[in-house]
Structure 1
Amino acid sequence: MDATPEPTRARKIVATIVVVLTVVIVWKVIDYRMQPPPPPPPAQTEAVR
């Protein structure tokens, strides 16, 4: 009795999609976090004075 059957084609496709989506999401999060913060709007700098 084989406890680990050969994965079907559908399971391989689903696993590939999950891995690709995970990599893309992590890549986008890292890319977003690496961006410098946007400059403050001019209204805030005027109010500080």
Structure 2
Amino acid sequence: MLELALMFFVIAVIAGALGATGVAGLTMTIAKWLVIAFLVLAVVSLLL
């Protein structure tokens, strides 16, 4: 899941550099939610 978040972040940076702000914003939002989901699952797995 963290690999997907990193991939979306790279896509967002490239899209932002090329001027596609809509795509960059969307991919950054997806990357943010994937990182949050990863952190939540990591904490839950450590507690259990």
Q: CA RMSD in A?
A: 1.8
Structure number with higher helix proportion: 2
Q: TM-score, normalised by structure 2?
A: 0.57
State, as a whole percentage, how many aligned pairs show the same letter: 3
Residues 1:27 and 2:43 are matched in the alignment: no
- Give 1:34 shift: 0.5
CA distance in 2, matches of 1:7, 1:15: 14
The amino acid across from 2:41 in the alignment is V
- Give 1:8 shift: 1.1
- Give 1:7 shift: 5.0
CA distance in 2, matches of 1:31, 1:7: 37
- Structure 1 alignment gaps of length 5 or more: 1-5, 37-49
CA distance in 2, matches of 1:25, 1:7: 28
- Structure 2 alignment gaps of length 5 or more: 1-17
Q: TM-score, normalised by structure 1?
A: 0.56
Paired residues, what number?
32
Corresponding residue for residue 10 of structure 1: 22
